[in-house]
Amino acid sequence: MGHVLEGDRRSFSIADIFGEDVFSDRVMQERLPKSVYKELRQTIDEGKELGPVIAEVVAEAMKDWAVEKGATHYTHWFQPLTGITAEKHDAFLSPVQKDGKVLMEFSGKELIKSEPDASSFPSGGIRSTFEARGYTAWDCTSPAFVRRDAAGAILCIPTAFCAYTGEALDMKTPLLRSVEALNREALRLIRLFGNKHSKRVMPYVGAEQEYFLVDREKFLKRKDLIYTGHTLFGAMPPKGQELDDQYFGAIRERVESFMRTVNEELWKLGVSAKTQHNEAAPGQHELAPIYKDCNVAADHDQLIMETLKKVAERQGLTCLLHEKPFAGVNGSGKHNNWSLVTDDGINLLDPGLTPHDNVQFLMILTCILRAVDLHADLLRESAANVGNDHRLGANEAPPAIISVFLGEQLQDVLSQLISTGIATSSKQGELLDTGVSTLPDLMKDATDRNRTSPFAFTGNKFEFRMLGASSSIAAPNIVLNTIAAEAFADTADRLEGAEDFEMAVHDLIKEYANEHQRIVFNGNGYSEEWVKEAGRRGLPNFSSMVDAIPSLSSEKSVQLFKRFNIFSAAELQSRSEIKYEEYAKEINIETRTMVDMASKSIIPSCFKYLRELAETVNALEAAGADASAAREILTEVNSLTSESQKALKQLMKDSEEALSIKEVKKRAHYCRDRLTVDMENLRNPIDRLEMIVDKEDWPMPSYGDLLFEV
Least separation in angstroms between residue 196's CB and ligand ADP is 23
Residues 198-257 that bind Mg ion (CB under 5 A): 208
Q: Which does 204 bind (CB under 5 to 8 A by kind): Mg ion, ligand ADP, none?
A: ligand ADP
Contacts of residue 131, Cβ cutoff 8 Å, sequence gap at least 6: 164
Amino acid of residue 692: I
Residue 22 or 205 with smaller CB distance to ligand ADP: 205
Residue 458 interacts with, from Mg ion, ligand ADP, none (CB under 5-8 Å by kind): ligand ADP
CB 80 to ligand ADP: min, Å: 26
Q: Let me know how long the chain is.
A: 710
User: Nearest distance from residue 525's CB to Mg ion, in Å?
Assistant: 14
Residues 312-331 that bind ligand ADP (CB under 6 A): none
CB of 347 to ligand ADP, least distance (A): 6
Kindly report the three-state secondary structure assignment for every residue of 60-129.
HHHHHHHHHCCEEEEEEEECECCCCCECCEEECECCCCCCCCCCECCCHHHHHEECCCCCCCCCCCCCCH
The CA distance from 512 to 504, in Å, is 12
7: left (phi over 0), alpha (psi -120 to 50) or beta: left
Judged by CB under 6 A, which of 302, 337, 409, 450 binds ligand ADP?
A: 337
Contact track, ligand ADP, 269-288, x by CB under 6 A: -------------------x
SS3 per-residue string spanning 422-445: CCCCCCCCCEECCCCCCCCCEECC
Q: 3: which residues sit within 8 A by CB, 6+ positions away?
A: 314, 315, 316, 317
Q: Which among 203-211, 218-226, 240-248, 401-409 is the span making contact with ligand ADP, rule CB under 6 A? A: 203-211
Which residue, 185 or 208, has its beta carbon nearer to ligand ADP?
208
Q: Which amino acid is at 93?
A: L
- The SS3 of residue 343 is coil
- What's the rounded Cα separation, in Å, for the pair 441 and 581? 56
Phi, psi of 656 (to 5 degrees): -60, -45
Indicate the residue among 75 and 458 with the shorter CB distance to ligand ADP. 458
Rounded CA-CA distance 193/501 in Å is: 9
Residue 659 binds which entry of ligand ADP, Mg ion, none, CB below 5-8 Å type-dependent: none
Angstrom distance (rounded) from CA 95 to CA 477? 43
Q: Round to whole Å and give the CA distance between 341 and 176.
A: 16
Q: How far is the CB of 296 from ligand ADP (least distance, A)?
A: 12
Q: CB nearest ligand ADP: which residue?
A: 206
**Segment holding 570, helix H or strand E:** helix 569-597
Q: Nearer to ligand ADP by C-beta: 339 or 482?
A: 339
Question: Quick one: three-class SS letters along 302-331?
Answer: HHHHHHHHHHHHHCCEEEECCCCCCCCCCC
**Of residues 127, 335, 356, 390, which one binds Mg ion by CB under 5 A?**
335
Q: Which is nearer to ligand ADP, 206 or 229 (CB)?
A: 206
Stretch that binds ligand ADP, among 204-212, 260-268, 543-551, 610-618 (CB under 6 A): 204-212
Stretch that binds ligand ADP, among 27-35, 61-69, 205-213, 574-582 (CB under 6 A): 205-213
Give residue 70's region: left, alpha or beta (phi > 0; psi -120 to 50).
left
Residue among 85, 339, 447, 544 that touches ligand ADP (CB under 6 A): 339
Q: Provide the minimum distance between the beta carbon of 333 and ligand ADP in the complex, in angstroms, as a whole number.
A: 12
Report the residue from 347, 416, 599, 616 that binds ligand ADP according to the rule CB under 6 A: 347
599 binds, among ligand ADP, Mg ion, none (CB under 5 to 8 A by kind): none
* Closest to ligand ADP by CB, 80 or 206: 206
| CA–CA gap between residue 242 and residue 281 (Å, rounded) | 9
Nearest to 388 by CA among 655, 174, 583, 589: 583
Q: What is the DSSP letter of 461?
A: S
Bridge-partner residues for 462, per DSSP? Answer: 338, 457
Binding ligand ADP (rule: CB under 6 A), the pick from 204, 258, 361, 564 is: 204
To Mg ion, the closest distance from the beta carbon of 76 in angstroms equals: 33
Return the residue of 233, 267, 291, 580 that touches ligand ADP, per CB under 6 A. 291
291 touches, from ligand ADP, Mg ion, none (C-beta below 5 to 8 Å by class): ligand ADP
How many binding residues for Mg ion (CB under 5 A)? 2
Which among ligand ADP, Mg ion, none contacts residue 460 (Cβ within 5 to 8 A by kind)?
ligand ADP
| Residues touching ligand ADP, count (CB under 6 A) | 15
Query: Candidates 218-226, 257-265, 335-343, 589-597 — which segment interacts with ligand ADP by CB under 6 A?
Result: 335-343
C-beta of 228 vs 447, nearer to Mg ion: 447
Q: Among residue numbers 451 through 490, which ones bind ligand ADP (CB under 6 A)?
A: 458, 460-461
Nearest approach in angstroms of CB 205 to ligand ADP is 6
CA 39 distance to own-chain centroid? 34
Among 289, 387, 468, 701, binds ligand ADP (CB under 6 A): 289
Do residues 30 and 36 make contact, with C-beta atoms less than 8 angstroms apart?
no
CB nearer to ligand ADP: give 267 or 542: 267
Smallest gap from Cβ 186 to ligand ADP, in A, equals: 15
To the nearest 10 degrees (0 to 180), the angle between helices 676-692 and 569-597 is: 30
Site for ligand ADP in 206-265 (CB under 6 A): 206, 208
Q: Which amino acid is at 689?
A: L
d(CA 248, CA 285) in angstroms, rounded, equals 9
Cα 142 to chain centroid distance, Å, stands at 19
Q: Which residues contact 512 (CB under 8 A, 6 or more apart)?
A: 366, 367, 369, 370
Residue 290 binds which one of ligand ADP, Mg ion, none, with CB within 5 to 8 A depending on kind? ligand ADP
| Strand pairing report for 284-289 and 455-457 | unpaired
Stretch that binds Mg ion, among 186-194, 237-245, 330-338, 436-444 (CB under 5 A): 330-338
The one among 96, 290, 439, 503 contacting ligand ADP by CB under 6 A: 290
206 interface partner picked from Mg ion, ligand ADP, none, CB below 5 to 8 A per type: ligand ADP
Q: What is the distance between the alpha carbons of residues 598 and 28, in angstroms, rounded to a whole number?
A: 57
CB of 458 to ligand ADP, least distance (A): 6
The strand pairing partners of 334, in sequence order, are 209, 467
3-state SS record for 157-194: EEEEEEECCCCECECHHHHHHHHHHHHHHHHHHHHHCC
Which lies closer to Mg ion via its Cβ, residue 170 or residue 286? Answer: 286
- The binder of 347, among ligand ADP, Mg ion, none, by C-beta within 5 to 8 A per type, is ligand ADP
User: Judged by CB, which is closer to ligand ADP: 461, or 672?
Assistant: 461
Rounded to whole angstroms, the Cα distance separating 603 from 599 reads 6
Of 205 and 466, CB closest to ligand ADP: 205
Q: Choose the contact partner of 551 out of Mg ion, ligand ADP, none; CB within 5 to 8 A by kind.
A: none
Summarize as ranges the residues that interact with ligand ADP (CB under 6 A).
Answer: 204-206, 208, 288-291, 337-339, 347, 458, 460-461
Can you give the binding site for Mg ion, defined by CB under 5 A? Answer: 208, 335
